[in-house]
Amino acid sequence: MSNAYQFHKSILREYDIRGIVGETLHESDATALGRAFATAVSRATGKAAPQIVVGRDGRVSSPGMEAALVEGLKAAGAEVIRIGTGPTPMLYFAATTMGTDGGIQVTGSHNPPHHNGFKMMLGKKSFFGESIQEIGRISAAGDLNVGAGSDRHEDIKDRYIARLLEEAVPNNLAIGWDPGNGAAGAVLGRIVAGLSGRHIIINEAVDGTFPNHHPDPTEPENLEQLQHLVAENKLDLGIAFDGDADRIGAIDAKGRIIWGDQLLAILAADLLKDRPGSTIIADVKASQVLFDEIAKLGGKPLMWKTGHSLIKTKMAETGSPLAGEMSGHIFFADRFYGFDDAIYAGLRLITAVVHAGVSLADLRDRLPDTVNTPELRFAVAEEEKFAIVDKVKAALAAAGASVDATDGVRVKTNDGWWLLRASNTQAVLVARAEGSDEAALGRLKASLTQALVAAGVTPPKI
């Protein structure tokens, strides 16, 4: 096999490697990635035969991708531990507790069935950003280690399930669970069997064609089946996961979606009782209600950039015990390892409800109501997206606006706030606005539109 290999330019993303199977992503890419990643890990650790743990989700293409990846890893001298099908957090758990030099999960996450990709770790940390670009350079230059590695299978499900069940608390709640035919289904039945209360699981079978609905709990239509389940069975709450179980969705007994920032507010209230004054991190898309709530509860709110790798890095830097994103990534470093595990977050949500002594619906009702837009995404040229945000930022600064530039621009007014940022993973601008009422939201949307037009962008009606 030739040493030099060029990846399709679209698949090396900020947080992972991701593409369309048979179009931009092939098994040959998996092999090339294995060789380049094992080479990078070897050089970072100084080990000729680094130990790398590999897992996979339940997509139809994942077994073939995983086998090709392992061949590449071995060709560069790695010792590979294969843990089979399971959630991405199970791979994180393996890499963290087994002390391996690296880890790779084959997963398309919440993307359509014909997509797939790879999430990586170096030691116990995320492997992202410039490190992923370096993989591309190593591969394109053919600057690769050559070795005769090995692979073996190890079943860590028992250990992973036992670790999660350490969070089980006595309760008499009735709970619906929807893994959406994603990788959580590989372990969820055994976890739920270890909990008290009444439980119903739907879409448990791991099926990479996702026959019942798409596994992305941030889209309301993907939660409709769980809402019906909660209503028909008079359940206290419902919990859903994305395709690789690193993102959570939740429904209360009234059938309302509890969004990522609302979940974080509820989880923070429970945590801050034990750890007063803690820094709680949320991304720039989160509601002002969340930041205000954390401060009111005696915590230190910190707004940070969107992206699970960036959030995890900031948590380690600040010693934060809890962080989250609007997208449903929830990260616990309190009694856990600091990575985003949606099943663990679900168990902590049950704990929070039990400790509060009231229903999830009651906890949701305690949060102030606001009126907001969904996440608005509109296509722009890849090479222009950051320049447009910079142009908007400069105009706002000249006008003396109140701007937070942590990640794009978040503009605060008496009506509320609006956000504009460039996506790190797609050729789109992302916008969101939140106001105290409909009239306030209308003014914020008009302000956002005006800023975009002034920067030479004609936005769709928002």
DSSP assignment of 144-167 equals: ------EEEE---HHHHHHHHHTT
CB 263 within 8 A of CB 285: no
Query: Which amino acid does the sequence have at 318?
Result: T
For the domain bounded by 371-454, which CATH number is listed? 3.30.310.50
Active site residue 28: no
This prediction has a pTM of 0.95
Q: Where in the chain is the domain with CATH 3.30.310.50?
A: 371-454
Alpha helices per DSSP H over 254-377:
260-274, 288-296, 308-318, 342-356, 360-365
Task: Quick: pLDDT tens for 368-389.
Answer: 989 999 888 888 888 899 999 9
Rounded to whole angstroms, how far apart are CA atoms 204 and 151?
Answer: 29
SS3 28: helix
* pLDDT for residue 288: 94
Rounded to whole angstroms, how far apart are CA atoms 454 and 40?
Answer: 44
* pLDDT for residue 2: 58
Task: Quick: pLDDT tens for 200-214.
Answer: 999 999 999 999 999
Rounded to whole angstroms, how far apart are CA atoms 270 and 222?
Answer: 28
Ranges assigned E (strand) in 67-214? 79-85, 102-106, 115-122, 125-126, 150-153, 174-178, 198-201
Ranges assigned E (strand) in 194-297? 198-201, 237-241, 248-252, 257-258, 279-283
Residue appearing with tokens 């130990």: 51
For the domain bounded by 17-154, which CATH number is listed? 3.40.120.10
Q: Which of 42, 61, 109, 278 is catalytic?
A: 109
Q: Where in the chain is the domain with CATH 3.40.120.10?
A: 17-154, 159-365
pLDDT under 50: residue ranges of the chain: 1
The structure tokens listed for 165 are 């069940």
Query: Which amino acid does the sequence have at 349?
Result: L
| Non-local CB neighbours of 79 within 8 Å, separated by 6+ positions | 49, 50, 51, 52, 149, 150, 151
* pLDDT for residue 460: 76
Rounded to whole angstroms, how far apart are CA atoms 333 and 223?
Answer: 28
Rounded to whole angstroms, how far apart are CA atoms 129 and 358?
Answer: 42
Rounded to whole angstroms, how far apart are CA atoms 339 and 332?
Answer: 6
| Non-local CB neighbours of 331 within 8 Å, separated by 6+ positions | 308, 311, 312, 315, 322, 323, 324, 338, 339, 340
SS3 5: coil
Query: Which amino acid does the sequence have at 433?
Result: A
The count of other CB atoms within 10 Å of the CB of residue 154 is 12
3.40.50.300, 3.40.120.10, 3.40.50.620, 3.90.1150.200: which CATH number matches 159-365? 3.40.120.10
